[in-house]
Amino acid sequence: MTTKPVTVVLTILGKEYKIACEPDEQKNLVRSASELDAQMRKMRDSGKVGNTERIAVMAALNLSHELQTLRSQTPAALAPGWKECLATMMSKIENVLEKR
């Protein structure tokens, strides 16, 4: 039995994005969006990064760097499902950025 995707409204840097996801992914998606929003607000508020697109790229780069650092320190600790989950989240983030 498959579950019907739900629509989640995420607010990132003051803009709302509607994302469809599986019900069991909703909590992680909301947490991911919250982390991304925090990273982007931090960069915006520092005044060092100007436009929204550059802020998004820099935030994604920082989060990706954190992930790579974690992978290199504890590769055995990451469950096989993490790669798929992260790939799905990255795809959703890219879709949101493309729709802007």
Residue 1, domain member (yes or no): no
In a domain, 26, yes or no: yes
Residue 86 placed within a domain: yes
For position 10, what pLDDT does the model report?
Answer: 94
Give the phi and the psi of residue 47 in degrees, each rounded to 5.
80, 0
- One pLDDT digit (tens) per residue for the chain, 100 residues: 568 899 999 999 999 999 999 999 999 999 999 999 998 998 899 888 778 888 888 888 888 888 888 777 765 555 667 777 777 888 888 777 776 6
Number of domains in the chain: 1
Within a domain: 29: yes
pLDDT at position 27: 93
Report the relative pairing of strands 15-21 and 6-12 from DSSP bridges. Answer: antiparallel
For 62, residues 6+ apart whose C-beta sits below 8 A from its C-beta are: 39
pTM to 2 decimal places:
0.66
Kindly tell me the burial class for residue 52, based on how many C-beta atoms sit within 10 Å of its own C-beta (0-12, 13-18, 19 or more).
middle
Q: Which domain holds residue 14?
A: 6-99
Q: Is residue 82 part of a domain?
A: yes
CATH classification of the domain holding 24: 3.30.160.880
